């Protein structure tokens, strides 16, 4: 995956997983950490355009271009996808009316190709 990278640094595992899933669904590369040591290792290894955090970790305001506090049911949590799209210039994928998404085949067809 190319493009901007986002780091989710939340001690709260439910909030971390929610942010990770919501931001990665936009097609953005996302990494997640749950403690200060993991945060230090990640930021040494990669540069991030955005860091989303829950306030429990020590994060410098200049650690990334955008450092945002996410609180459960807070203002940012409500419109997280839109804020990420806006700040990182992530395009919205428009599905054409005549574009069709096929249903996946039943599980047994993957294994035996007999289709019964």
The CATH-assigned architecture of domain 5-88 is 3-Layer(aba) Sandwich (3.40)
**Residue-level pLDDT at 3:** 76
Local structure of residue 96 (DSSP, 8 states): P
Q: CA–CA separation, 18 vs 22, rounded Å?
A: 6
User: Going residue by residue through the chain (116 aa), what tens digit of pLDDT does each one get?
Assistant: 567 899 999 999 999 999 999 999 888 999 999 999 999 999 999 999 999 999 999 998 889 999 999 988 877 777 888 899 999 988 776 666 666 667 776 666 655 555 55
| Residues counted in the chain | 116
**Residue-level pLDDT at 30:** 95
Exposed / middle / buried, residue 64 (Cβ in 10 Å: 0-12, 13-18, 19+): buried
**What residue spans define the domains of the chain?**
5-88
Report yes or no: 7 and 64 within 8 Å, Cβ to Cβ.
Answer: yes
Residue 66: name the closest of 35, 23, 95 by CA: 23
């Amino acid at each position: 995956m190319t493009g901007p990278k986002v780091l989710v640094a939340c001690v709260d595992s439910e909030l971390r997983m929610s942010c990770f899933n919501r931001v990665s669904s936009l097609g953005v590369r996302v990494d997640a950490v749950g403690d200060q040591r993991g945060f230090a290792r990640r930021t040494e290894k990669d540069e991030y355009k955005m860091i989303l955090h829950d306030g429990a970790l020590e994060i410098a305001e200049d650690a990334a271009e955008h450092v945002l506090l996410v609180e459960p049911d807070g203002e940012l949590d409500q419109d997280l996808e839109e804020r990420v799209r806006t700040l990182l210039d992530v395009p919205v994928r428009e599905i054409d009316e005549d574009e069709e998404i096929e249903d996946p085949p039943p599980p047994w067809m993957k294994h035996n190709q007999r289709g019964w």
